[in-house]
Amino acid sequence: MSMYNFNSGPSILPDEVLQQASEGVLNFNNIGLSILEIGHRSDWFVEVMEEARSLVKELMQLDDSYEVLYLHGGATTQFMQVPINLLDENETAAYCDNGIWGSKAIKEAKLFGNVHIACSSKDQNHTYIPKELSVPQHVNYLHYTTNNTVEGTQWHFIPQANVPLIADMSSDIFSREISFSEFSLIYAGAQKNAGAAGVTIVVIKKDILGKIKRTIPSILDYRNHIEAKSLLNTPPVFAVYVSMLTLRWIKKNGGLIEMEKRANERADLFYETLDSLDAFEGKVDRQDRSLMNATFITKNPEHEKLFLDECKQNGMVGIKGHRSVGGLRVSMYNAMPINTVQALCDLMKDFSNKYADALYKTI
């Protein structure tokens, strides 16, 4: 039976990357050693790290005023590392409260300074993206989550404010062409579109650093990681390697222009199917739907388990919604071929037809 991977993260990787990574585990670049056992300061790995960092800048079309880091701790650590580097205790940062990850970032920022809520979608359970923001000019920065993996919303515009812009791009990085140079700091866990779990990409405009008074622990100071070229301590070697291979794959397959084209094709196919069926309905305002993570429900709650059972029987995994919101979720990242989405859409059509009569008896 074929398997179809709709997991939200760790998630689908390109077959080519999986093959190359598996070869590297056994014999990295034919040197007779595994990627898992080479020294992180050896020329072999330094070349991997430098290529990975260079590819990030190339894909984002950024100049040398930016530095790229590969760090431990996931995006969750960045919730803390951003304010500890950029916010003194008597200062204020603005945050967009648009979902579970934005809320967690706000909670951490409050440990280091004041937080101004620039906008919030809490009034409608984070099912839309606010279009108007309140950003005082005295704040140190504005932070937002570009794509909300749990709730299924996505910012389809870059919020404008005359302050440094910080973005958590964990679930839509490298999926579309945007003006990355408008951001002062970008971070993302690699395990959606940029590689395997275990490493976080951080892109920093260097002039944002060194402006606060607090003493920053050495391992948390971005400047130390920049000076050490992401080798301040032992990095997650294999995760960096898989990220490099994934970025190579993105470049080889047309870069961000092609990734965005494919993302739109997958999302259009799925949402057109969703909107045409009686058994299902979306949870998010149509204009704010995510191209990466589609959230939806069965109109009859009793049908949810039946649908998930049918998905399982057909080799479709990762469709159950996040535990905090329930429902259903389909994640469609860069490596997902269109035929995988088509297979799910066909199953949804068959399911809707099968249970149409039962549905109408309950509404």
In angstroms, what CA-CA distances link 2 with 308, 311, 315, 316, 332? 16, 12, 6, 9, 17
CA–CA distance, 32 with 39 (Å, rounded to integer): 14
Q: Which of 224, 252, 280 is the last residue of a domain?
A: 252
CA–CA distance, 225 with 231 (Å, rounded to integer): 7
Which residues have CB under 8 Å from 248's CB, separation 6+?
Answer: 51, 55
291 and 322 housed in the same domain:
yes
In angstroms, what CA-CA distances link 59 with 50, 165, 175, 181, 261? 14, 19, 11, 12, 15
- The full DSSP string for 250-267 is HHHTTHHHHHHHHHHHHH
Neighbours of 43 (CB within 10 A): 8
- Put residue 174 in one of left, alpha, beta given phi > 0 → left and psi -120 to 50 → alpha: left
Polymer length in residues for the chain: 363
Residue 202 lies in a domain: yes
- Put residue 99 in one of left, alpha, beta given phi > 0 → left and psi -120 to 50 → alpha: left
Number of domains in the chain: 2
Reduced to 3 states (helix: H, G, I; strand: E, B; else coil), residue 143 is strand
Question: Residue 265: which CATH number?
Answer: 3.90.1150.10
- Put residue 71 in one of left, alpha, beta given phi > 0 → left and psi -120 to 50 → alpha: beta
The pLDDT value recorded for residue 359 is: 54
- The three-point CA angle 244-247-253 to 5° equals 140
Pairing of strands 66-71, 4-5: unpaired
The pLDDT value recorded for residue 2 is: 84
Residue 1 lies in a domain: no
Residue 289 lies in a domain: yes
Q: Which of 209, 228, 252 is the last residue of a domain?
A: 252
Cis ω for the linkage preceding 10 (within 30 of 0)? yes
Asked whether the beta carbons of 150 and 99 are under 8 A apart, the reply is: yes
The pLDDT value recorded for residue 363 is: 47
Asked whether the beta carbons of 241 and 34 are under 8 A apart, the reply is: no
Q: Which of 252, 286, 321 is the last residue of a domain?
A: 252
Residue 7 lies in a domain: no
348 and 315 housed in the same domain:
yes
294 and 231 housed in the same domain:
no
Active-site amino acid positions: 101, 168, 192
202 and 323 housed in the same domain:
no
Neighbours of 228 (CB within 10 A): 12
- The three-point CA angle 246-316-263 to 5° equals 45
149 and 260 housed in the same domain:
no
Q: What is the pLDDT along the chain (363 residues), one digit of tens a residue?
A: 789 999 999 999 999 999 999 999 999 999 999 999 999 999 999 999 999 999 999 999 999 999 999 999 999 999 999 999 999 999 999 999 999 999 999 999 999 999 999 999 999 999 999 999 999 999 999 999 999 999 999 999 999 999 999 999 999 999 999 999 999 999 999 999 999 999 999 999 999 999 999 999 999 999 999 999 999 999 999 999 999 999 999 999 999 999 999 999 999 999 999 999 999 999 999 999 999 999 999 999 999 999 999 999 999 999 999 998 999 999 999 999 999 999 999 999 999 998 875 555 554
Which residues have CB under 8 Å from 149's CB, separation 6+?
Answer: 8, 9, 101, 170, 171, 192, 290, 292, 293, 322, 331
Domain that holds residue 293: 254-360
- The full DSSP string for 292-311 is SEEEEEESSTTHHHHHHHHH
229 and 294 housed in the same domain:
no
246 and 261 housed in the same domain:
no
CA–CA distance, 245 with 248 (Å, rounded to integer): 5
Residue 239 is which amino acid? A
CA–CA distance, 74 with 297 (Å, rounded to integer): 29
Residue 8 lies in a domain: no
Residue 167 lies in a domain: yes
Query: pTM score, two decimals?
Result: 0.96
Reduced to 3 states (helix: H, G, I; strand: E, B; else coil), residue 17 is helix
Question: Residue 65: which CATH number?
Answer: 3.40.640.10
261 and 148 housed in the same domain:
no
Asked whether the beta carbons of 310 and 347 are under 8 A apart, the reply is: yes
300 and 221 housed in the same domain:
no
110 and 129 housed in the same domain:
yes
Residue 9 lies in a domain: no
For 160-216, the pLDDT digits (tens) are 999 999 999 999 999 999 999 999 999 999 999 999 999 999 999 999 999 999 999
CA–CA distance, 225 with 148 (Å, rounded to integer): 28
65 and 140 housed in the same domain:
yes
**Run of H or E including 109:** helix 100-109
